Amino acid sequence: MNAATLVLASRSPRRRQLLEMLRISHVVDPVEVDELPRPGEDPESYAIRLAREKALAGSKKHPDIWVLGADTVVVLDGRILGKPKSPTAAEDMLLELAGNRHRVVSAIALARGDDMHGACDVTSVWIRQMTRERARAYVRTGEPLDKAGSYGIQGLGAVLVDRIEGDYFSVMGLPLRLVVDLMSAAGIPYNFT
């Protein structure tokens, strides 16, 4: 464990891939936290709370190394759109997003013992208009079934996106510039190696 710079407290293969892309040494050790929103909790507060709870839960298991927790939510008209519960729910969600702007909120937290650093990013995404048949064809690929908002910008879902305003990597689930900023705040300089 000492050879790694971070512990990634997430199952997300995309987050792992992004850390690997930046050559940030890490090990993956997912944690479980209650992900139900609290009454009256706004999406940003919700994402920040979950990222912090994940980082803290991981830090209890690994007190001598920095633990990165992250959470990403898709927000349409103030409502959090989670992962679809069925293929039909995924189709319905995609049709709700079609032709509209939504926000993707990605929060991250870096914890070691009682030391904590956190950040949050909000990116606007516009999804293209689509028919139910188009949504159904995308859902049949299986890609949207494990993703908040029922699409993956880094995969086949890229063709559904009209444009974004903000951080592409945040939409993928890990705002890399903020990860590097938190590492710097924690005394872990990033040197491209």
Q: Please give the positions annotated as active site.
A: 71
Q: Which residues pair with 25 in a beta bridge?
A: none
- Strand ranges (DSSP E) for 51-100? 66-76, 79-81
Pairing of strands 79-81, 66-76: antiparallel
Q: Which of 82, 138, 85 minimizes the C-alpha distance to 105?
A: 82
Structure tokens at 53: 């709870």
- What are the backbone angles phi and psi of residue 31, rounded to the nearest 5°? -125, 160
Close Cβ partners of 70 (under 8 Å, ≥ 6 residues apart): 9, 10, 12, 15, 51, 54, 106, 107, 108, 109, 173, 174
The number of residues in the chain equals 193
Q: Which of 15, 154, 148 minimizes the C-alpha distance to 75?
A: 148
Inter-helix orientation angle 132-140/87-97, to 10°: 130
